[in-house]
Structure 1
Amino acid sequence: MPFKRPEPPSDSDAVSSSSVTPAEPSQPPRKKSRPSQLGDLLKGVKIFVLQTKLEAPTIAELLFLIERSGAELCKDVKEASVIITAVRMRKRLERHIDWKIAKSKAVVTPDWLRDSVQKKTPMHCGDYAALQDLEGTTEAKCPTESDGETSTASPALSTPPPQRHFQRKSSSPHTPSREPGPSKSATPPPANLLPPDPPYEFNPEDLDYRSRFACMRASPLKCPNQELCEMLDVMRQTREVEGEERSELSYRRAVAVIKSYPTKIKYRREAEKLPYIGTKLISMIEEYLDTGHISEVDSTLASPRFHSLTAFSSIYGIGPKTAQYLYGLGLTTIEQLETYYGVKPSEQGVMLDSEKDARDVMEENWIKVALGLRHDLAIKIPREGVEEIHRVIMAELDEVEPGCVSTVVGGYRRGKTESGDVDIVFTHPNASRTKGLCKRFMKRLYEKGLVTHVMHLSGFHTHNALRTTHWDSLEKALTIFVLPGHTTRRRVDFIFAQPETYWTAVVGWTGSLMFERDLRLWAKQRGLKFDSSGMTRRRDSKHLYPQTEKEVFDILGLPWIDPTMRNADV
């Protein structure tokens, strides 16, 4: 059956999804030897989750525990060795699973997985049989009983359900519920737009660096294997500028995994245990460990084509295909590119009056603008510079619409000491005051000379749950900004969100790229759709409105990760 979100369970037959202590089985579970690592606890065990009669937080918890335990989640019940279900009657089970298939599997309650992870040892399936009619077959088919040998668990690893990982540090008028979900109101204002800083306790050691999802790993700005990551990122860049998307993603995933590895890699076998590290990457890592270099990286860095394509692609409006086309014309340097486009250092842009204007402006014009401003835009912005830009912008915004709140996102929020641009998310507690505010504000900044170019201007769109592109439907302006009394131009992106989607916008624009990509994949696996402009349930397109940033993670069934630990890219 398809893997989808279920209807809410009936009162008579529901399994509790919010108990802090898992329910005890009818008989005490049998003792087994402990595995050496939590990620190997149920390695090789294939699990199918029958979502009928399970609520969303319980499904999130089970998916999280499957990921942590090293088991494999199956979408086809025929491939599974264990079926987890809250159904307790044969007739109800047969509505979803053929009885012959059920008799060939271990059919257990969710407590089997909870207790296995909590006690760090695979529990005996027979003690957790979901149906009385299947007690005998569940005991006989239990995959963790087949060899009688498992490895030993590490006491340093613990796995509480994701909703209970962290508590608020300070008392707050808003306390997230154990079972986060959509607000009852159609467009509720956030209960807490500006939480205390830092709002939540966070311990990176609580996360599993072997997870296949970057949104479940702690990724610091600088990691113990930073030099190795930067070398592998060169290979990622060359695949990107050559338009080899699948290969580029493979390197990006590998870099993200190594970024979260807590200690310096010294031996090949350490890398072999990490996800997304294939044979070719192992050979590169081994070469780096032996020599401190990677020959393919060295040859890439010596390639004139690589340097030309990389330089061209750094210009706003030039993607891989355009860069390759320009290189094919014989252009190899930025100076030649300026001559080709007829660029002058004083090249000026225009103020767009509408989104239609933005579509009508030829891409070539923005390439000329970006080339003309490239020296300014290449200068990194220190943290104090970002804060000054934010202060000036908020003072101006208060003149246009008092009462707005904002968060500086992007690399600044992830802890970077310098930023290439500034991204700011804005909202107002009164939703009616946010519509059209971006356009009004841009006109004011343009008239005052603070914004010299608007490269993209868009208004709000209805959140489309069927949209396949990753470009959100928020009201935004991508601009060139200059501080009063200064001459250096800066890239500043203004993102205006409705109050009910403020925190999804903050999470979505904080990044990093790989973290956000896996966040969307994880949400999809949970039957949800997530992007910066909102969250929806895929089966019925119902909107979900998290009222804090932490609640975004709660609804997705993810452990809280501090923004400074979301640096899954170099």
Structure 2
Amino acid sequence: MAESWTSLLVVRKPAHLKRMLSGRPAKALAVNTGPRRQLHLALHHDDLRLTQQQQQQRVLLQHYRSLGHMPFKRPAPVPHQGTESGGESESSSRPPPAKQQKTSMQKALPDTTVYIVQAKLDVGGISELFELAEHHTKGACRNAMDADVIITAIAMRRRLERHVPWDIAETKAVVTPAWLRDSVDHGRALPCGDYVAIQDLLETTVEHCPDCNCKPCACSDGDSEAATPRFEAKQLPSPLSSPSTPVKQRAMSTSTKKEEKKPVVPQPVPEHLLPPDPPIPTNLAKLDYMSRYACQRASPLVCPNQALVRELDIIRRSRDLEGEARSALSYERAVSIIKAYPHEIRSLKQVEKLPFIGVKITGLIEEFLDTGKITEAQTINASERFQTLSLFSSIYGIGPSTAIRLYNLGLRSLNDLEVYYGVEPEDVALQSQIVEVEEKPRKPAWQRGQHKGDEGLGDSWTRVALGLREDLAKKIPRAEVEEMGRVVMRELEELEPGCVSTIVGGYRRGKMESNDVDIVFTHPDPSKVKGLCKRLVRKLHERGMVTHVMHLSGFHAHNALRTHHWDSLEKALTVFIMPPSSPFHTGVRRRLDLIFAVPDVYWTAVIGWTGSIMFQRDIRQWAKDKHGMKFDSSGITRRYDSKEFFPKTEKEAFDLLGLEWVEPKWRNADL
């Protein structure tokens, strides 16, 4: 029985299959990816009654088979139903679309054979690369040995070796998919050094790259026409009519526009997004060390009573590790008030009128004045339990509750933790991953430790931190912190020119060494900030500078009634390694946090992430008590009507809250 064609459909996205096949008892005879990465489905009716799920599975199966190294098959042409002979003759006299395209383009890489590693590529990406290889290179081969260039999205040697033997990879140019796309756009083979997929293969990739320095190509000086895009100006007919512009023609127009564009003059950054020059000094005479709010006190990095503060802080840490949050907060406030006391304490009379110094802490201070130490602090510091809990909680992602649970299970050392979590440090160091999760808001400090369960970022991130603990435990000197900031800003400038940033955290408060590096970014154009964090992270990951990433969140609406203080900014917590070109490159991995804020809340984000913890807590409390406002890193709002306030500068934020200006170096209200 002859089959009758009923429809020839164009599906622009695979996700549209379900909608197009719904209620249609049909069978796919041909599946192909066309020049616009569309699925061409030739459908006909028959007596076979398939369920919708079976129809979809059959169509998708045909599509996936067509994505291999087999040539694509086009569906048979659709006969016209009209009776006018003129239309039929016109259609029949026109050559097939594929032939028209081949005759109207010049291959950008005619002498280059590519091998495409499909791992870590989505269906659309695979389809696009094979199409580019088909039309613009010598071809895509089945064996990596036969290729001139290996194209892969894999960035780690160990993972690449699952698909290509390392000894073969060392004899080829191994580049990212962007190399093929950009080479096609430019009409010639681009240098591979900027697109190397794996840093270990940089030298061999440059050596074997089929660019202008190695092989003759279409960009020779003697032929100006060869350097132009390989498409003709006239519009190419599409295999099936569609209002959208074909990919190849869009590439032509984009490439032409790029050549015709004049150099973009960078717009000056608004002055209010830059730090004041010279810095605004703090009027210490207007600050009061007797104030109950740390944001009204000057707290230096090192105070005259630093030894006493260290003893009290041991007791504070112990209370915090044991889940006694209220007691820990009492000691934290006492430490904060002593840090701001401008004179060395020699008698109890000096502390009698200080806030937050109760009977218990007064007795501890008296003991310290008599003996130079506090017995309770010394006992705690020498105990196995305190040492073990401190050790466990030093692993990023393990909070007090988890540390106590692990201790109660009998674990006592980091080796015990490795066995418990199944961690092999060598394997973790070789792995590279981007883990994307939705952030869980942190509880207020007074609620932490009251409920069982992990307070960290989950076992996956804990395993990474445990495997990299030796590197992450090393302090970062100020010079290296500044170099990390310069390296990241260079990469960001390539993505989105005009961004500004501030290195915050302990570095900004004057610490000579940091445990990690926090950087806050923004752009004068708010529309360019959203999504920029993930774009930067992926770029750093592809360049081998970020080895592990956990995205905590994107932007969320500022909520004046929110009870927790984990801000709603876009941020990523990463593990960073200096590029080989940096003079600070040692191979040591560092903790790097990237925080992105729209320009309206840039300075509140800078204040919030600068710290210290006690200073920030008291700014929030001051805003609530004195002005009925809510302050956090993502903005300032009035509580009763949720009106938002956007300070233009950091000092303006202090002015808005009725606070004297306090430089970052005087915000060290913690040890």
Shorter-chain TM-score bucket reads: 0.5 to 0.7
Residue 521 of structure 2 is matched in structure 1 by 426
The structure, 1 or 2, with the larger RCO (C-alpha pairs under 8 Å, 6+ apart) is 1
Q: Of 387, 394, 397, which aligns to 1:307?
A: 387
How much does 1:334 deviate? 1.3
Q: CA distance change for structure 1 residues 358 and 228 in 2, over 3 Å: closer, same or farther?
A: closer
Q: CA distance change for structure 1 residues 553 and 190 in 2, over 3 Å: closer, same or farther?
A: farther
Residue 507 of structure 1 is matched in structure 2 by 607
Residue 244 of structure 1 is matched in structure 2 by 324
How much does 1:206 deviate? 2.4
Deviations 1:81-118 (A, max 9, x none): xxxxxxxxxxxxxxxxxxxxxxxxxxxxxxxxxxxxxx
Residue 106 of structure 1 is matched in structure 2 by none
Kept after mapping to 1: 8 A contact 2:436/2:550: no
Partner SS state of residue 425, structure 2: coil
Residue 34 of structure 1 is matched in structure 2 by none
Q: Distance in 2 between matches of 1:540 and 1:396?
A: 41
Q: Of 377, 381, 385, which aligns to 2:476?
A: 381
Kept after mapping to 1: 8 A contact 2:651/2:661: yes
Residue 312 of structure 2 is matched in structure 1 by 232
Q: Of 463, 467, 472, which aligns to 2:558?
A: 463
Residue 17 of structure 2 is matched in structure 1 by none
Aligned ranges for residues 324-343 of structure 1 at < 5 Å?
324-343=404-423
**What amino acid maps onto 1:475 in structure 2?**
E
Partner SS state of residue 552, structure 1: helix
How much does 1:356 deviate? 4.7
How much does 1:365 deviate? 1.4
1:352 aligns with 2:434: yes
Kept after mapping to 2: 8 A contact 1:190/1:548: no
Bigger drift between 337-346 and 401-410 goes to: 337-346
Q: Distance in 1 between matches of 2:667 and 2:277?
A: 17
Kept after mapping to 2: 8 A contact 1:190/1:500: no
Aligned ranges for residues 426-505 of structure 1 at < 5 Å?
426-485=521-580, 486=585, 487-505=587-605
**What amino acid maps onto 2:644 in structure 1?**
H
Q: Distance in 2 between matches of 1:527 and 1:434?
A: 30
Aligned ranges for residues 358-369 of structure 1 at < 5 Å?
363-369=458-464
- Specify the structure having the higher radius of gyration (Cα): 2
Q: Distance in 2 between matches of 1:505 and 1:422?
A: 15
Bigger drift between 342-351 and 257-266 goes to: 342-351
1:545 aligns with 2:654: no
**What amino acid maps onto 2:659 in structure 1?**
L
Q: CA distance change for structure 1 residues 456 and 243 in 2, over 3 Å: closer, same or farther?
A: farther
1:564 aligns with 2:665: yes
Q: Of 397, 414, 423, which aligns to 2:509?
A: 414
Partner SS state of residue 463, structure 1: coil
Q: CA distance change for structure 1 residues 368 and 451 in 2, over 3 Å: closer, same or farther?
A: same
1:398 aligns with 2:493: yes
Deviations 1:94-148 (A, max 9, x none): xxxxxxxxxxxxxxxxxxxxxxxxxxxxxxxxxxxxxxxxxxxxxxxxxxxxxxx
How much does 1:273 deviate? 1.2
Q: Distance in 2 between matches of 1:447 and 1:276?
A: 51
Partner SS state of residue 352, structure 1: strand
How much does 1:293 deviate? 0.9
**What amino acid maps onto 1:270 in structure 2?**
Q
Identical-pair percentage: 61
Q: Distance in 1 between matches of 2:663 and 2:424?
A: 44
Q: Distance in 2 between matches of 1:388 and 1:195?
A: 19
Q: Distance in 2 between matches of 1:238 and 1:478?
A: 27
Q: Distance in 1 between matches of 2:635 and 2:316?
A: 30
Deviations 1:376-433 (A, max 9, x none): 0010000000000000000000000000000000000000000000000000001110
Kept after mapping to 2: 8 A contact 1:312/1:318: yes
Residue 224 of structure 2 is matched in structure 1 by none
Aligned ranges for residues 16-55 of structure 1 at < 5 Å?
none
**What amino acid maps onto 2:348 in structure 1?**
R
Residue 145 of structure 1 is matched in structure 2 by none
Bigger drift between 513-522 and 462-471 goes to: 462-471
Q: Distance in 1 between matches of 2:469 and 2:402?
A: 18
Gaps of 5+ in 2: 1-268, 442-455
Q: CA distance change for structure 1 residues 225 and 258 in 2, over 3 Å: closer, same or farther?
A: same
Q: Distance in 1 between matches of 2:270 and 2:568?
A: 19
Residue 267 of structure 1 is matched in structure 2 by 347
Kept after mapping to 1: 8 A contact 2:435/2:551: no
**What amino acid maps onto 1:411 in structure 2?**
G
**What amino acid maps onto 1:402 in structure 2?**
P
Q: Distance in 2 between matches of 1:204 and 1:410?
A: 22
Q: Of 615, 618, 630, which aligns to 1:529?
A: 630
How many residue pairs get aligned? The number is 381
Residue 189 of structure 2 is matched in structure 1 by none
Residue 141 of structure 2 is matched in structure 1 by none
1:192 aligns with 2:292: no
Q: Distance in 2 between matches of 1:504 and 1:399?
A: 26
Q: CA distance change for structure 1 residues 362 and 474 in 2, over 3 Å: closer, same or farther?
A: closer
Q: Distance in 1 between matches of 2:500 and 2:293?
A: 31
How much does 1:350 deviate? 5.2
Q: Return the TM-score normalized by structure 2.
A: 0.55
How much does 1:354 deviate? 4.4
Gaps of 5+ in 1: 1-188
Residue 23 of structure 2 is matched in structure 1 by none
Aligned-pair Cα RMSD in Å: 1.8
How much does 1:341 deviate? 1.2
Q: Distance in 2 between matches of 1:528 and 1:498?
A: 20
Q: Distance in 1 between matches of 2:378 and 2:289?
A: 29
Q: CA distance change for structure 1 residues 282 and 537 in 2, over 3 Å: closer, same or farther?
A: same
How much does 1:352 deviate? 3.4
Q: Return the TM-score normalized by structure 1.
A: 0.65
Deviations 1:288-347 (A, max 9, x none): 001101110111111100000011011111111110000001111112111211211121
Partner SS state of residue 379, structure 1: coil
Partner SS state of residue 574, structure 2: strand
Q: Distance in 2 between matches of 1:339 and 1:204?
A: 53
Aligned ranges for residues 19-98 of structure 1 at < 5 Å?
none
